[in-house]
Structure 1
Amino acid sequence: MKNYFSFSLKLVLLLAVLLVGQFVKAQNRQVSQWPRGVTYEIFVQSFADSNGDGKGDIKGMTAKLDYLKDLGVEAVWLMPISPSPSYHKYDVTDYYGIHPDYGTVQDFQEFTREAHKRNIKVVVDLVINHSSSKHPWFLEAARNMDSPYREYYVWTHKSDPQTQKEGRPTGADSDNTRHWHPLEGSDYLYYGYFYGGMPDLNFDSPKLRDEIFKIGRFWLTQMGVDGFRLDAARHIFPDERPQDNHRWWEYFRSEMQKVKSDVYLVGEVWAPADVVAPYLKGLPALFNFEMGWTIAGALNAGRGDSIAIKHARITNYYSKINPQFIDATILSNHDQNRILSTLNNDVAKAKLAAALLLTLPGSPYLYYGEEIGMTGKKPDERIREPFLWDAPGKDKHRATWIKPKFSTDATVAPLAAQKKDKNSMFHNYKTLISLRNKNKALTYGSLVPVNLENKALSAFVRVYEGESLLVIHNLSGVATSIPKTPEMAGFGQVYFKDKGAGVYKTAVQIPAFGTIILKK
């Protein structure tokens, strides 16, 4: 009998251990699936240098894939990597190549293979609004009016001022002559919306469109990428031809889907929601610049009451255009002042910005270095400074192509140091990313704004498949105690909280620039 009870006790204990193990596994299971997961934007030249030449490269990036996996990233977006005469490489001279500073085609193919082994998708910048003025197409078109590449670009004769002023209007300018550039040794001008070194491609040309499809197919098949970030998506055609812009992206998407049915396309359309929305049929993912500006503005003003209301308005509007749209949310990117600088170097506000980004709906994008609190203000080189991996003398991967002005060793603790500090910006991001990745309501849930009669608070409910989370952020610099309201009924379990937050019998306490998440 004694042996029987002993055996039974062991069996019960074993079952208990197994059940606890299964529970822990369920709690730690990642439920987010890209493209609904977190994407990490990389400026390759500043990210990780593998060979000591001072410039980040593809092999350096490959060596850091485990870091990105550990951070919780499910995809990377790479700024342009093709040959180009500029440091930023948004003026391409060869759409089928890799810039030699970054490596080789083989290096990139190895990168995509290694990324995919870690379930990290790869998105590359596709810059097709314009080429470089040093691209062989443009050089030949400029030399020879009868060149087949002449129709790849937009031209006018300099004796025709009416054409210069109205032939390709931008909509934003009453006089767009600044977009026309003289062709040396010629009576012709060419159109370049951004500047003379970036002549616009002519999408009225069937030959040019076929060339663009060929480029897209090459990167999807030969290079193994999962999709594209489409630069200057609003400017393929002039602003007076928005419907042509919308149709072009539908056409492009359908051609790319012939090669890869689940191809991912995310577009850059700098505009309010009503201008952005029509692009959603061709570009199912679009950057939500408006919400990024809203979050930063709210934090600087100390008012959070309208954040969720505005987000709900935008996403409800978008869902009417494309119910399957992907809201690519951001705090900053390579064209904007870094979020910490926008918030006047207030680390507490920057941590809360991350909490807002990762608890609101959307598929968040992080700009490299955001997770370690890098700073930077324009000009552009200063918002693209090198990532700090380790302390000086120990950092074998830090790029040195530019001497940093903002993100220096005096202003930013390197990643290695932040990994050891549980209160660091890095651990703040990693915790929040993990929280989001492991919760379906935070990843996929709908958004219901909640009014708590306190303008400093941003409160909303995320709902998915029967799970409801009440998220409350305090955008003020003082701790806040709020009485429990009817909207808070049933939310009694603390799912996540910052230090100092708590639920009491009649009130909820939230620290300055803090967050609490309650579960029904």
Structure 2
Amino acid sequence: MTGTKHNNLSSCTTEIIYHVFQRSFYDSNNDKHGDLRGLIQQLAYLQDMGITAILLTPLFTSPYYHNYFADDFGSIDPAYGTMADYFDFADAVHRHGMKLYLDMEIQYVTEDHIWFKDSFKNPASAYSDYVLYQDSANETPETIIFDTNGLLGYDGVYKDITTVNLLNSGVQSYMVSLFRYWIDPHSDGSFKSGADGFRLDHMMDMLDNKQRLSNLFSKFWRPLIEKLKAIKPGVVFIAEQTDWSSFGQEYLTEVGADKVFAFPLREAILTFSKENISEAAAQTFSLSPDQSQNIVFIENHDTHRFATLVDSHPGKLRTGAALNLLLGGTPAIYYGQEIGMTGGGGFGKYGNSDGNDIPRREAFKWYKDMTHPGMAAWYENSGPWWEDSSLQDTAVSASAEEQIAAPGSLWKYYQLLMQLKKKHPALAYGEYKKLDNDSPGILSFLRVSKEQTCMVLINLSDIKERAYMDVEAYAGKKKVLYQNLLGNMQIIPAVKNVYIEMEPFSAGIWECQNIRSSE
């Protein structure tokens, strides 16, 4: 194996997911709402950065800005565009060589959904058993998540919400048809304009601890996935664990999902502890037959922004990027993460309203001028979340426009790491292997593929660190040659094989020649 020659490096298969809150991404028609046409206009931006797949939040019509809790599973929120716009978007994604994943939350419906509206106080309705009631007269709808009966929108509109009966045969048939439509919308077997996979929101074996909805893994989710894979074998299902402390392996083995979220690894990353990250990574990647089944992320639409959690510390932002993209698994980048957008909010921040999470879902900061066309500030002047917005604070994070033009910016660093992943097989899809060292602050590991082995070192501390590593132990005592791929640090031969000095919050990558590859 040589250090610089790999066959078809440009075709290394790797997936980097961009998780986008589309209402806040890019506005194409000056109504301040991000939309599908806006996404089409910015596909080149995503491709230039290195993104290979896009995960949307729900598209369904809903009274809520986030489109969870649907009015109609079969239609698109008109603020995003028409079904024709969606087809154009899906086709454009595929022309750019990317995949498209849709977020599906199907466990609840609002009072305006036909199942709820027609069956409420009407036990004779054809949909009487499609949703759950606590009484035979259908006068008391079943509660939803957090044992609530509805939700107040940021705009002051309150809607009742109830739980869908996922064990009803009519519901199950409908759901197969619904997913089939999004896979093959033209119903001709071509799968043109279809989704490549789905994020399955809030998956539970017993939904919200309701005995009436027990054994959903075996009675609803697995049969649904099996039927859809019979239609399109390559369709991907990403399960969101409800328990964020779970590694999620039961979703892979019992449900048949293809990927889960690496929640415990994210929590470890936030500690900047070598011991915590090393242990969480080892557990995460050892519990699944394929390490790529774990989606590695540092923020999403339900969490504080990573930049907020690290006080926008430049070194920690770059270290977060390195951990997100280099540890292994399938990395996911939440829109705005690449430019260090901030945002907190969360449950109860502004009372009982879905506006609590708006700070985590703000308009993407495309331009230094916040009034520039394209800015999706749909929530402008709508409440305290706007008053607290960090969008206009240029000291917090520079815009994408500024960072793309600035050498050494956070955006440029994300782009560089993604380019390296695409170029080098070990970084693209190689297995994670722990590599011990004697430093308290340097995390070291190998990424090993059949073609190549790379060594990754990340200094998690705010001081210069030194480390010794016995790399030859992994090479069958063969002499190892190192080619630097990232950083300007020098590997120095020493008694314990190699010695390295690293600046605070720095990362380095080396290709290691003569190390045994995985078969």
Q: Which amino acid aligns with 1:476?
A: S
Paired with 1:406 and 1:272, the residues of 2 have a C-alpha distance of 28
What is the aligned partner in structure 1 of residue 86 from structure 2? 108
What is the aligned partner in structure 1 of residue 432 from structure 2? 447
**Match runs of 1:367-446 below 5 Å:** 367-378=334-345, 379-392=356-369, 395-403=372-380, 404=386, 405-410=389-394, 411-446=396-431
Q: In the alignment, is residue 29 of structure 1 matched against residue 10 of structure 2? A: yes
Paired with 1:438 and 1:486, the residues of 2 have a C-alpha distance of 23
Q: In the alignment, is residue 278 of structure 1 matched against residue 262 of structure 2? A: no
Contact 1:447 1:463 in 2 (8 A): yes
User: Residues 389 and 188 of structure 1: is their aligned pair in 2 closer, same or farther, counting only changes over 3 Å?
Assistant: closer
SS at 1:443 equivalent: helix
What is the aligned partner in structure 1 of residue 517 from structure 2? none
SS at 1:29 equivalent: helix
Q: Deviations over 1:425-448 (max 9, x none)?
A: 100100111111222112222222
Greater share of helix: 1
Q: In the alignment, is residue 305 of structure 1 matched against residue 275 of structure 2? A: yes
SS at 1:271 equivalent: coil
SS at 1:95 equivalent: strand
What is the aligned partner in structure 1 of residue 198 from structure 2? 228
Q: In the alignment, is residue 493 of structure 1 matched against residue 446 of structure 2? A: no
What is the aligned partner in structure 2 of residue 9 from structure 1? none
Paired with 1:394 and 1:25, the residues of 2 have a C-alpha distance of 47
User: Residues 273 and 441 of structure 1: is their aligned pair in 2 closer, same or farther, counting only changes over 3 Å?
Assistant: farther
Paired with 1:247 and 1:31, the residues of 2 have a C-alpha distance of 38
Contact 1:450 1:487 in 2 (8 A): no
SS at 1:382 equivalent: helix
Q: Which moved more, 1:384-393 or 1:476-485?
A: 476-485
Q: In the alignment, is residue 269 of structure 1 matched against residue 241 of structure 2? A: yes
What is the aligned partner in structure 1 of residue 266 from structure 2? 292
Shift of 1:351: 0.9
Contact 2:445 2:455 in 1 (8 A): yes
Contact 2:58 2:66 in 1 (8 A): yes
User: Residues 274 and 28 of structure 1: is their aligned pair in 2 closer, same or farther, counting only changes over 3 Å?
Assistant: closer
Shift of 1:305: 3.3
Shift of 1:393: 6.8
**Match runs of 1:343-382 below 5 Å:** 343-378=310-345, 379-382=356-359
Q: TM-score, normalised by structure 2?
A: 0.83
Q: Which amino acid aligns with 2:390?
A: F
SS at 1:115 equivalent: helix
Q: Deviations over 1:467-518 (max 9, x none)?
A: 221211100111223245455774442332335x222344312111011122
Q: Which amino acid aligns with 1:71?
A: M
SS at 1:199 equivalent: strand
Shift of 1:249: 2.2
Shift of 1:324: 7.8
SS at 2:445 equivalent: strand
What is the aligned partner in structure 1 of residue 352 from structure 2? none
User: Residues 289 and 246 of structure 1: is their aligned pair in 2 closer, same or farther, counting only changes over 3 Å?
Assistant: farther
Shift of 1:28: 5.6
Paired with 2:471 and 2:80, the residues of 1 have a C-alpha distance of 57
Contact 1:305 1:451 in 2 (8 A): no
- Pick one of 286, 299, 305 that aligns with 1:338: 305
- Pick one of 478, 484, 490 that aligns with 1:502: 490
Q: Deviations over 1:90-136 (max 9, x none)?
A: 01111111111110000000000111001111111111121223212
User: Residues 491 and 397 of structure 1: is their aligned pair in 2 closer, same or farther, counting only changes over 3 Å?
Assistant: farther
Q: Which moved more, 1:453-462 or 1:480-489?
A: 480-489
What is the aligned partner in structure 2 of residue 5 from structure 1? none
Q: Which amino acid aligns with 2:202?
A: A
User: Residues 502 and 212 of structure 1: is their aligned pair in 2 closer, same or farther, counting only changes over 3 Å?
Assistant: same
Paired with 2:106 and 2:167, the residues of 1 have a C-alpha distance of 13
Q: TM-score, normalised by structure 1?
A: 0.83
SS at 2:81 equivalent: coil
SS at 2:110 equivalent: coil
Q: Deviations over 1:28-55 (max 9, x none)?
A: 614024xxx0010111110000011111
Q: Which amino acid aligns with 2:124?
A: D
The structure with the larger Rg is 1
Q: In the alignment, is residue 461 of structure 1 matched against residue 461 of structure 2? A: no
Contact 2:120 2:139 in 1 (8 A): no
Paired with 2:392 and 2:306, the residues of 1 have a C-alpha distance of 16
- Pick one of 180, 184, 208 that aligns with 1:217: 180
Q: In the alignment, is residue 157 of structure 1 matched against residue 129 of structure 2? A: no
Q: Which amino acid aligns with 1:225?
A: A
What is the aligned partner in structure 2 of residue 200 from structure 1? 163
Percent of paired sites with the same residue:
26
User: Residues 157 and 245 of structure 1: is their aligned pair in 2 closer, same or farther, counting only changes over 3 Å?
Assistant: same
Paired with 1:32 and 1:273, the residues of 2 have a C-alpha distance of 30
Paired with 2:10 and 2:276, the residues of 1 have a C-alpha distance of 33
Pairwise CA RMSD: 2.4
Paired with 2:472 and 2:276, the residues of 1 have a C-alpha distance of 17
Runs of 4+ in 1 over 6 A off after TM superposition: none
User: Residues 242 and 480 of structure 1: is their aligned pair in 2 closer, same or farther, counting only changes over 3 Å?
Assistant: farther
